[in-house]
A and B are shown apart, each in its own frame.
Chain A
Amino acid sequence: MPQQLIISIGREYGSGGHEIAEELAERFGLHFYDKNLLKEIATEKNVDVNRLEKYDELPRSVSRKVRGFSNSPEENIANMQFEYLRKMAENGKSFVIVGRCSETVLRDYSCMISIFILADLSYKIDRISSQQGISREKAEILINRQNKKRKDYHNYYCLKKWGHSQNYDISINSSRLGIERTANILAGYIQERMSISIPR
């Protein structure tokens, strides 16, 4: 039976973390999960995925808790994804997961490697403005807004803060080497990690 491997990737908006995660999934022949995690959940629950996607990876709206029940759709969708991730990990599945507090949710699995991809602001602005065909000013506003959402979302569910190096096995700035070479470095690190087993 092949060794179980879970790669958790946290990323700043515009850092290319998503592409790097896809690249690593391809190189290691792993299932790749980001938004599509909800598709699997929706299929399993026999519900409309569009309804779930509206609340994906968002900080919770004004809400209340009663006897452990929360009315926040964002929180319920997040917990649904956390449970699904734990279930996949428990079943011995190997995969790459982007975001969704996965570095914290799956921290008890020694086969999990957690990575955070960051980048310089100018690099992120270049990428987003060219990808989306928007001005640099608009790109900066979008980057700041998206990163704030990710940070608020993450920090609500996790004790350790989003992007703080202590929270991840490796944090890397993708603007130094670019997407491809950053993926190379990370692939090398993952190979090394797979050759040893680190108890958590």
Chain B
Amino acid sequence: MVSQILAVVIFVVMFFLIITEKFERHIVTLSCGLLTLTVVFGACMQSMTAVTKTLALHRIFALDFWYHAGETAESSSGINWATIIFIASMMIMVEGMARAGFFRWLCIQIANLVHYKTIPIFITFMVMSAILAMFIDSITVILFLAAVTVELAQVLKFDPVPMILAEIFCANLGGSATMCGDPPNIIIGTALGYSFGDFITNTGLIAGISLVVTVIYFYFCFRKELLDSSGKSIPVTNYPDPKEAVTDKKGFIISCIIFLCAVFLLITHAQTGLTVAFIGLVIALATLLTSAKYIPDLMKKVDYKTLLFFIGLFIVVGGLEETGILIAAASFIENISGGNVKLMTAIIIWVSAIASAFVDNIPFAATMIPIIKSLSVSQNTSLSVLAWALSMGTDIGGSATPIGASANVVGTSVAAKHGHPIGWGEYCWKTAPAALLVLLISTICIFIRYF
């Protein structure tokens, strides 16, 4: 009982400190993780097994961590090393691509293909944002897309804010489509043993339908602002040249090849048996080996704080799991839904969405995974349906407010740094209805398809 209370207190304090930002969030999760290991597992439970299980270091040395010969097995609790290795590896690959100028080139090339017309740029950038975010972290996608949007807005004389808001939303939507698009999906996929194919045929389908609706929604939402600027005549000489975006031609070609290989390996990983941790590691090594002289720069740009944040977070959530708190939480959801699986699924989507709109969706998803596992067993219902509900809820709910997802923070920050600050009112007024719309589509799709 004492260990349960302490595990909850540590979790609540961690969440509170993450929200208040008094300390850096990796310091918070690591400190709380250390408290979980020493106080909850050590002093209260006196269980070395709980410590070993939560640290989960032994898993890295198991063959099935890198290669699954047959059906993927569900991972147990504790630190999800596959997520950490995959995210770190993707950071290295993305930095390699950014160094060569890939993202800027792609943005300007697309603007060039649509002849620098405002409305076509608006639509193609939304679609590009969603597609890129399916494979690359949404922070990087928005970082480059928002910067190029501001640059184009200066040249083409349009207000970049509507376009940036739409791009952010589509990046979050694209991230929900695949296993590697958004951190909650990586955690869900690796913890529950789902493949890229599982995600793309389930959440991917919902995201695809939602993308069409979203593009139409944002078009009508921002049509007036964008049409106002589309009639202005701009000298062609002012248009940015895609070729100038490429800073290293050889590096550019190599990074494109590595990226395509990563996409291919991720799409086929269920067939090849290679795990995302293995694919990530191979891709990171390929990036480093082909950019040998930039290795120190690439390694410096890895966001170690985020990786440490994940490690601490997984330990704290492991504390809740080992002490049985999450089973109690699952029972609570069971009780309020009265055993009605449809209602339970709806609760998971909408509660995840509301929570993710205001708090970091990564700790929320990590906490919810053991809960949905427990619900699936006790209610004898399909775990995958609950997983897709959790994925759509956390990924889309985060789009509703400027603090809901990392891409929102980065996108609005880039806009503000260029003199286009976006307040809460403006952000929520345009994107919260879109988030509600997509959540509604997700709920309907899940109900029609699985019940």
Contact = CB atoms under 8 A, between A and B. Distances in A.
Given A64-B409, A66-B139, A66-B410, A77 B418 contact: no
Contacts of B414: 69
Chain B: number of interface residues, binned into ranges: 20 to 34
A175 to B, nearest CB: 36
Mostly, the B contact residues are helix
A66 B411 CA distance: 11
User: Across chains A and B, which 6 residue pairs bring their CB atoms closest together, nearest first?
Assistant: A73-B421, A47-B419, A76-B416, A69-B413, A45-B419, A64-B403
Nearest to A83: B417
Interface residues of A, number: 24
A67 B424 contact: no
Contacts of B115: none
Given A64-B21, A71-B403, A73-B416, A55 B421 contact: yes
Given A64-B21, A65-B21, A66-B410, A71 B419 contact: no
A46 B160 CA distance: 13
B149 interface: no
Interface string B390-412: 00000000000011001011101
B152 to A, nearest CB: 13
Interface of A: 41-42, 45-47, 51-52, 54-55, 61-67, 69-71, 73, 76-77, 79-80
B248 interface: no
Nearest to A46: B154
A47 B418 contact: yes
A77 B418 CA distance: 10
B423 interface: yes
Contact of A80 (B403, B417, B423): B417
A125 B419 CA distance: 36
A61 B423 contact: yes
Given A52-B421, A62-B424, 10 more contacts: A41-B419, A47-B419, A63-B402, A64-B409, A66-B409, A69-B409, A73-B423, A77-B416, A77-B421, A79-B417
A80 B414 CA distance: 12
A6 to B, nearest CB: 24
A71 B408 contact: yes
Nearest to B18: A64
A71 B360 CA distance: 14
